[in-house]
Structure 1
Amino acid sequence: MIHDNLLLIISLLFVVSMLTMLSEKLRISYPIFLVIAGLVISFIPGAPHMQLEPDWVFLIFLPPLLYGAAWNTSWTDFWRARRSIILLAVGLVVFTASTVAFVSYMIIPGFTLALGFLLGGIISPPDAVAATSVLHGLKVPKRVVTILEGESLLNDASSLIVFRVALATVPTGHFIFWQAGKDFLVVSLMGILIGLVIAHIMYVVHRFFPTTPSIDTALTFIAPYLMYISAEHFHYSGVLAVVSGGLFLSFRSHEIFTYNSRMQTTYVWDTVTYLLNGIVFILIGLQLQEVTNGLGNYSIAESIGYGVVISIVSIIIRIIWVFPGTYLPRMLSRKVKEKEPAPSWRAVFIVAWSGMRGVVSLASALAIPLTLGQHAFPARDLILFITFVVILITLVAQGLSLPLIIRWLKVEDDEDNVKEQNTQINLQLATVSLDYMTSAYDGEIINFRPFTSLKERYERIVNTAEARLRDNDPDMPALEHVRTYRKMLLEIVNVKRIELQKLRREKDFPDELIRSKERELDLEEARLRDSP
């Protein structure tokens, strides 16, 4: 039995990798492609029957995925966009849950308002991975990406709190707003506090204990589970514990990690989060048969109709919320108007259209108990099916149309501004390096060629950066030579790789030395490709 389960997991990982490569070839965002692929696979005769356990998602998948997202989020950018992020992650979640609650209460026979809030809490949070993967490689302003990533970090917590409060009110059928608001604040604040306390403990361990890169990497995987389980044990928000702790440690990472710890941790986390995301999205598609089989008294046609209506309502609600939420504060507050750049309506629409639902919604729906007292939980199967329809419609329809809309609207990114800022940083770093060399190693620069060569290299960096920052510089055509020079260096790296492969086949040198040289080439190529 263990061997069969292990083979199934390994096969799933292999299928995810193959399908992701195919999605790259077809230029379709991999979450969308994997959901559709899982949907198709579920109808193949003899396909394995798979049931997604909500406890697995919340305990195994959610902590590392949230922690990885928090770690890759800039705290500075997050704080600058905090007003927009909170309006979406808290305000929009509550607005969506409330609207969906009343709409479902009106259109679905026998649906109580408490069940409506339960459904609203389930489908209110957009998925983090879906939005960022769809936007990956597309030219959109950095602030748009920051807002969507920041929203996705917090909205899971907001929606899960609404879900829990609504679940507790289903037996009585009464939803008390002031009590829900109080519970929301307590659960949120205590979750943040627990996350920060554990993050400070991990900070001390990383910084003052004799760790190695492998230990540092292992501790980064222990931390999110420790934060999540600790907060959930006391019935507070494990999601906010992970997010707050991850943001704190990410902000302090330059103090607690050496360069090799940062590199190793980054590579390992990239691989793990990719595999976890891939498995989750293909499992969503594989759930359709399980969801359909449990519909019970509701017909598939009726259930699809309810799902389509709720999907359209969810999409419209986001658009209605985002535009006033963007422009009204600028009209009402001079401070906001002066501090924040005027947003383009095109960029605002991209934020409004990026409301794809995903794994948290499905896991929440699956977490609804099977029974309520001595009876079956009311409308559980219908809520599950509606959730699946909303995920499918928003993920596929909005996800596939988003790149087309971005091109149609001709959304302008801020790539030129980012390049200019990058050049300014290069100029400042090269300038202070030159100043230090001339003051501390003046004699060596005069007498030893390696020192002289390094000084000349930094002088070239300074000259190139200054030329880039002068738009009307007469030597600007020289920038084309800089690009050609970088192209040549990349070609030389490739030539070196080919030669190393030849040396490996000849077996005249130790394989460890060959691998060391390959790592040097990897770092050199990364530096060349990341330069503007």
Structure 2
Amino acid sequence: MDAEIFYVLVGALAVGAFARWRGWPAPLVVTVAALLVSLIPAVPTLDIDGHLLLNLTLPPLLYSAALEVSFVGFKRSLPHIRRLGIGLVLCTALAVGLIAWWIMPELTLAGGLLLGAIVGPPDAVSAAAIGRKLGLPRRLMTVLSGESLINDATSLTLVRVFAAIVAGATVTVWDGLWSFIVAVVLGVLIGLLFGVVLHQLRMRLDDPVVVGTAGLLVPFGAYAIAEHLGGSGVLAVVAMGLFVGYHAPRTDYTTRQQERPLWLSADFLLESFVFAYIGLQFPRVVRELGTADAGITIALAAAVFGIVLVMRPIFVYGSYAWGRMWQGIKIMRWKHSLEAYRRDPDDPRAKMMRDRREQLARRGVDVNETMLRQRILEPVLSVPERAVLSWAGMRGVVTLAMAAALPDLTGGTMPASHVQKLIVVAFVVTVGTLLLQGLTLAPLIKALRVGSDEERKLDARQILAIRERSQEVGKAYLRAQRTEWKERYGPESAEVFDRMAQSLLRVERDTDRAGQVLESHDGSADAAAQKPTYDDLVALSKGWLEARREMLIRERDLGNLSEEVMREIMTAIDAEELALDTRGAIRDVGRA
């Protein structure tokens, strides 16, 4: 088995690398290649325990995805994400359960609902890869990514409840609802606790190797402990990833620079293996279909596949219309409450709202627009964007792993023939959606001309505004530092300081100007004259970079800067600090 897994890893990586080189969606290419390889008689079937597959692949994939999701965008898109991640999974499970019970009554209603919960959660890995390549709008990518972060928790909770019913336990609707609430609350709390601990570790350790290794291990711990205590391991990992990702700009730049390529490599490895595993299951599925129940199993698989395809667009368009209607009602209520508070100045709620408005106004923020955007408004999705969202319903590793774990989940009480049928249906739905929707999603995006041109224009305006703000912050910082230098080194230090200050203020146009000033300064320290040293100039440069970082974080927190643009600018600032440290290291080697 060890050798077989190694061969699968090597083959999947090779195919995935070729797909990336050609610009093709790697998950789909790996799946198709594995399907073709599985037809070779000499290739053995790779059997991996479903629980093991989930526990080894789900925590790192979820954590990595949560790190990349904009928390601000996630929070704003939460109504969309909540409806799709919870409501759509529930509706899909119910629809599939009823149809499965009607087609195959011997499954029982609980068995049908168990099948519905297994095939309910879409996997956004393939859709996200295609969307990034074709430049889908960020608001749409946030909804896709956010949905995939929480729908697994909904599905796994439903699977536990229906599997317990199949196993003979008496579970009421209230028991299932209570289990879901406990899973959500406990999972989020454990995730936040792990997130706080990991963030403090990242803030206090200056060794990026140790911090990166801890980041690889902690998601497994959060997932395992949450599952052991009855919470949702998925939500624990997601909450931890969102917390750590949101606070990542406050950590040392070396941690950020090492972390991103590390997780990109881990994601590529795990995703390649998972999709190869999906494709290699084909021989076993064919063998299981070679029974007397093959006809009814094929009919059930076709029916479930059709429901999965149809249910998503119906729910996407219907829930969006409902959300827009409810949003209009909330806006009317908000405006009515605002007018009522204005007429009654003694109302404590009126005072609280006035204080909040004054606080935002002092920051130069459009008060009404900010309060509406943060509390009420959902991102608007055009009809073409909703069409793309409706078609991005590919299933993945969670569906297949839960199906493979059915014997353990049901305690061996479900007949083996029923378990085989559910596994076959789950496999057909997974591979069918990967091939049908995965191969046609890119042409659909191109045909509907869904792009991010508008966002690119908005990003350009934000970057221009941030550069102006950066100049203001820089001038204020340098004025304070110039006064301090004059007190420390005397008026003769003004020339060196002014040369360095002018270079820093032009750093966004010419990132090497500060380096030229550093190289022209010999760095000799005259203790008697108290001249500024090379290290003083480096400290001045790093202080200027830190002032820019703090400004970016403030603008993001105020809602004036998207998190994606902030991360791009932050990456450029990190590169500038890396150049400073590299130049200093080379200088130290030369002096040695």
CA contact (8 A) 1:227 1:241 kept: yes
SS in 2 for 1:415: helix
Q: 1:368 aligns with which of 406, 411, 415?
A: 406
Note if 1:328 corresponds to 2:339: no
Q: 2:230 aligns with which of 203, 222, 235?
A: 235
Unaligned runs of 5+ in 1: 462-517, 524-532
CA contact (8 A) 2:166 2:414 kept: no
* Rounded Cα–Cα distance in structure 1 between residues aligned with 2:212 and 2:379: 39
455 and 368 in structure 1: CA distance in 2 versus 1, 3 angstrom threshold: closer
CA contact (8 A) 1:73 1:150 kept: yes
Cα shift at 1:178: 2.9
Give the partner amino acid of 1:258. D
Give the partner amino acid of 1:115. G
456 and 319 in structure 1: CA distance in 2 versus 1, 3 angstrom threshold: closer
CA contact (8 A) 1:195 1:242 kept: yes
Cα shift at 1:406: 1.1
Cα shift at 1:335: 5.8
Note if 1:162 corresponds to 2:158: yes
Q: 1:404 aligns with which of 420, 428, 443?
A: 443
Moved more, 336-345 or 218-227: 336-345
Matched length: 461
Give the partner amino acid of 1:130. S
Q: Provide the residue aligned with 1:381 in structure 2.
A: 420
* Rounded Cα–Cα distance in structure 2 between residues aligned with 1:331 and 1:305: 39
Q: 1:78 aligns with which of 74, 98, 103?
A: 74
* Rounded Cα–Cα distance in structure 2 between residues aligned with 1:192 and 1:447: 50
- Give CA deviations for 1:510-532 in whole Å, capped at 9, x if unaligned: xxxxxxxx999x99xxxxxxxxx
Q: 1:107 aligns with which of 103, 110, 118?
A: 103
- Give CA deviations for 1:175-202 in whole Å, capped at 9, x if unaligned: 7433222221122211212222222233
Q: Provide the residue aligned with 1:20 in structure 2.
A: 16
Moved over 6 A (4+): none
Q: Provide the residue aligned with 1:427 in structure 2.
A: 468
Cα shift at 1:263: 1.0
358 and 457 in structure 1: CA distance in 2 versus 1, 3 angstrom threshold: closer
CA contact (8 A) 2:19 2:26 kept: yes
Moved more, 299-308 or 159-168: 299-308
Cα shift at 1:430: 3.6
* Rounded Cα–Cα distance in structure 2 between residues aligned with 1:220 and 1:438: 40
62 and 92 in structure 1: CA distance in 2 versus 1, 3 angstrom threshold: same
Cα shift at 1:378: 5.4
CA contact (8 A) 2:66 2:241 kept: yes
Note if 1:249 corresponds to 2:240: no
SS in 1 for 2:177: helix
Cα shift at 1:286: 0.5
CA contact (8 A) 1:434 1:459 kept: no
SS in 1 for 2:406: coil
Give the partner amino acid of 1:343. L
Q: 2:221 aligns with which of 215, 223, 226?
A: 226
Give the partner amino acid of 1:141. P
Note if 1:357 corresponds to 2:395: yes
Q: Provide the residue aligned with 2:543 in structure 1.
A: none
* Rounded Cα–Cα distance in structure 2 between residues aligned with 1:86 and 1:445: 59
Give the partner amino acid of 2:38. S
Describe how 1:27-106 pairs up with structure 2 within 5 A.
27-106=23-102
Note if 1:271 corresponds to 2:265: yes
Give the partner amino acid of 2:12. V
34 and 445 in structure 1: CA distance in 2 versus 1, 3 angstrom threshold: farther
SS in 2 for 1:356: coil
303 and 234 in structure 1: CA distance in 2 versus 1, 3 angstrom threshold: same
Cα shift at 1:455: 4.0
Cα shift at 1:116: 0.7
SS in 1 for 2:186: helix
142 and 114 in structure 1: CA distance in 2 versus 1, 3 angstrom threshold: same
Cα shift at 1:278: 0.7
162 and 59 in structure 1: CA distance in 2 versus 1, 3 angstrom threshold: same
Moved more, 303-312 or 227-236: 303-312
* Rounded Cα–Cα distance in structure 2 between residues aligned with 1:277 and 1:458: 37
* Rounded Cα–Cα distance in structure 2 between residues aligned with 1:52 and 1:519: 46
Q: TM-score, normalised to structure 2's length?
A: 0.72
* Rounded Cα–Cα distance in structure 2 between residues aligned with 1:407 and 1:336: 35
Cα shift at 1:126: 0.4
Give the partner amino acid of 2:237. V
Q: Provide the residue aligned with 2:430 in structure 1.
A: 391
* Rounded Cα–Cα distance in structure 2 between residues aligned with 1:105 and 1:61: 32
455 and 425 in structure 1: CA distance in 2 versus 1, 3 angstrom threshold: closer
Cα shift at 1:269: 1.3
Cα shift at 1:295: 4.3
CA contact (8 A) 1:356 1:394 kept: yes
Give the partner amino acid of 2:222. M
- Give CA deviations for 1:105-164 in whole Å, capped at 9, x if unaligned: 112242211011110110000003122112121132211100010000000000000011
CA contact (8 A) 1:346 1:411 kept: yes
* Rounded Cα–Cα distance in structure 1 between residues aligned with 2:498 and 2:122: 60
CA contact (8 A) 1:101 1:119 kept: yes
Moved more, 446-455 or 428-437: 446-455
CA contact (8 A) 1:171 1:372 kept: yes
* Rounded Cα–Cα distance in structure 2 between residues aligned with 1:275 and 1:136: 19
* Rounded Cα–Cα distance in structure 1 between residues aligned with 2:194 and 2:496: 53
Cα shift at 1:53: 1.8
254 and 171 in structure 1: CA distance in 2 versus 1, 3 angstrom threshold: same
Cα shift at 1:29: 1.3
Give the partner amino acid of 1:156. D
CA contact (8 A) 1:330 1:336 kept: no
Unaligned runs of 5+ in 2: 332-375, 484-492, 512-577, 584-592
* Rounded Cα–Cα distance in structure 2 between residues aligned with 1:389 and 1:407: 27
Q: Provide the residue aligned with 2:174 in structure 1.
A: 178
Q: Provide the residue aligned with 1:217 in structure 2.
A: 212
SS in 2 for 1:310: helix
Q: 2:147 aligns with which of 142, 148, 151?
A: 151
46 and 341 in structure 1: CA distance in 2 versus 1, 3 angstrom threshold: closer
Q: 2:287 aligns with which of 281, 286, 293?
A: 293
Give the partner amino acid of 1:356. M
Larger Rg: 2
